[in-house]
Chains A and B, each alone.
Chain A
Amino acid sequence: MAAARLTIWGCRGSVPTPGPDTVAFGGNTSCVEVTLQNGAVLVLDAGTGIIDLGLDLVDRGVRRLHLLLTHLHLDHLEGLRFFAPLWDEHVTLDIWGPPSPMLGLQERIARSFSPPLFPIELRDVPARLTFRDVPREPWSIDGVSLAADLVVHPGPTVGFRLETAGSSFAYLPDHEPALVGVVERSSDWISGAALAEDVDVLFHDAQYFEDEYETRVGWGHSSVSDAVAFRRAVGARRLLLFHHEPQHSDDSLERLEAHAQSIAAPDEPKAELAREGMVIELP
């Protein structure tokens, strides 16, 4: 088995988009499973993709989990309340998330587990939960090395870098580096660059075509050309376009992918669309 296996359970941005126009790439919001060679399971974000993942984890009998949240916008949290392991008293779940200058992680998540949004309080969830701010320095979980850094997106938001003994992966699903500059800038001044530098696989926000981005500057997401430029700046070896715009049908996304490939230099890796069910094995 590979050192780590990445499974995409949701890659849609902003809001779930079920329906016939999104069958190919999926309508569930952000969730990526990272299964390590030793059987440990880490989950990146709790969009609606985590609901099906939860059922799968129950079937597999996994009872020890780490959930790493990039931020607490609803499309990255809304599946948590329906995550089956949460309702099993035998499950231990560590939830990691960005520190906030004001409220703790538990208090912020508890808002979505309270009336009128939800009938059950967070304190009544049966699983054993621990809430942890992501450390400022790299740390390890079950044999994988991790780093988290704040990145450009409204509100406290982090991206993640994961490293196994032989490979690396960066996850920046919600990121607008162009707001503070990507091109012709040294990498230490580029948001998220340290996380994504020279990684084998980069999942990066590419929500918009360029003309769409023009009217959405500051919303926290990237155009496809900015995603390609970011990959170029950090030297990532593979780019997965992530956080698909809800109004983009499968056909539209295929055009976005073709556009991404057309603007890359011939010697650059060809960007690919993330899609639900996609599995990537890291050596």
Chain B
Amino acid sequence: MGRRRQKHLVLILAREFASNLATPTLIADADGTLVFYNEAAEEVVGHTFAESGEMPLDEWSSSFAPRDKHGQPASPNERPTRIALDERRAAHERFRITSRDGVDRDVAVTAFPLFAHADEFVGIVAIFWRE
């Protein structure tokens, strides 16, 4: 019997949780693929999840040209989402981004890893706010 394609239950539950939040929230799987962001996040990033679809999280994040407080491009390795994926710990940072609608926005991002079991990393959740 081959392994059938199925999101981990933790991601399914996380998506349902995020769907009911007014806080912008995104979810990526353990491979770093953006698998969902909610309607509140759509307002911040300027397009719907239906439009973007699943894609590598780094690619998606880079499309907003995140900069630090000095206006310098934020290193991908310093982004909270990348830290949560690679180091599997929570991280927080502030950025200025340029949304798809061309508007610059100051946002704060908090990302944390999801473990189904101590040795089973299944993905990350990132929440963000307009500053």
- Which chain A residues have a beta carbon within 8 Å of chain B's beta carbons? 99, 101, 136-138, 145-147, 149-152, 161, 163, 179-181, 187-191, 193-195, 197
Contact, CB under 8 Å: B117 / A99: yes
Q: Kindly state the interface size class of chain B when it binds its partner.
A: 10 to 19
Contact of B5 among A146, A161, A181, A188 (CB under 8 A): A188
Given contacts A99-B117, A136-B120, A194-B6, contact A152 B13 (CB under 8 A): yes
Given contacts A147-B1, A163-B1, contact A180 B6 (CB under 8 A): no
Cα distance, A155 to B113, chains bound together (Å): 20
Q: What are 20 A-B residue pairs whose CB atoms fall within 8 Å in the complex? A: A101-B116, A101-B117, A101-B118, A138-B1, A138-B2, A138-B3, A145-B1, A146-B1, A147-B4, A149-B9, A150-B8, A150-B9, A152-B9, A152-B13, A163-B1, A180-B12, A180-B13, A187-B6, A188-B7, A189-B7
Smallest CB-CB separation from B120: which chain A residue? A136
Contact, CB under 8 Å: A150 / B3: no
Q: Which of B1-58 contact A (CB under 8 A)?
A: 1-10, 12-13, 15-16
Contact, CB under 8 Å: A188 / B6: yes
Cα distance, A193 to B9, chains bound together (Å): 11
Cα distance, A136 to B122, chains bound together (Å): 12
**A residues within 8 A CB of B13?**
152, 180
**A residues within 8 A CB of B7?**
188-189
Cα distance, A211 to B117, chains bound together (Å): 36
